[in-house]
Amino acid sequence: MAYSEKVLDHYENPRNVGSFDKSDEHVGTGMVGAPACGDVMKLQIKVNEAGVIEDACFKTYGCGSAIASSSLVTEWVKGKSIEEALAIKNSQIAEELALPPVKIHCSVLAEDAIRAAVDDYRKKQAGGEEQ
């Protein structure tokens, strides 16, 4: 299958590959997977006191489009507030990467990963206040 240039760029030079400490209270970890293709995606965000995403990283095992979608998302969420990050839609990811219809689910996965990471972060924050 022919990948777009942007997908290839992210695939060959993925941005922000790596891991943060999962137990860090400023880190939110989102794990998502697509049963249809067996792809697994981990997206982590590091949020500062002002509620801004300072840093982000990912690890994805999957096709080029899944890797590119998560790589792109780490770039996009950096410097954004949590709310702004949640506003990122899969359609924007798909459009930016010129994903074909059969690969749209990769962009959905990346959007879900943002939400999962934010949920995890918020859960940690709420838990921390209760203690």
**Residues taking part in catalysis:** 37, 106
Q: What residues make contact with other proteins under the rule CB under 8 A?
A: 31-38, 40, 42, 59, 61, 105, 108-109, 112
Cβ–Cβ < 8 Å for 77, 44? no
Q: How far is the CB of 127 from other proteins (least distance, A)?
A: 15
Nearer to other proteins, 47 or 108 (CB): 108
Q: How far is the CB of 117 from other proteins (least distance, A)?
A: 11
CA dihedral of residues 28, 31, 32, 38 (deg, nearest 10)? 160
User: Nearest-5° angle of CA 56, CA 117, CA 125?
Assistant: 105
Nearer to other proteins, 39 or 96 (CB): 39
CB 48 within 8 A of CB 26: yes
Tokens of residue 22, six digits: 């999962």
Nearer to other proteins, 22 or 54 (CB): 22
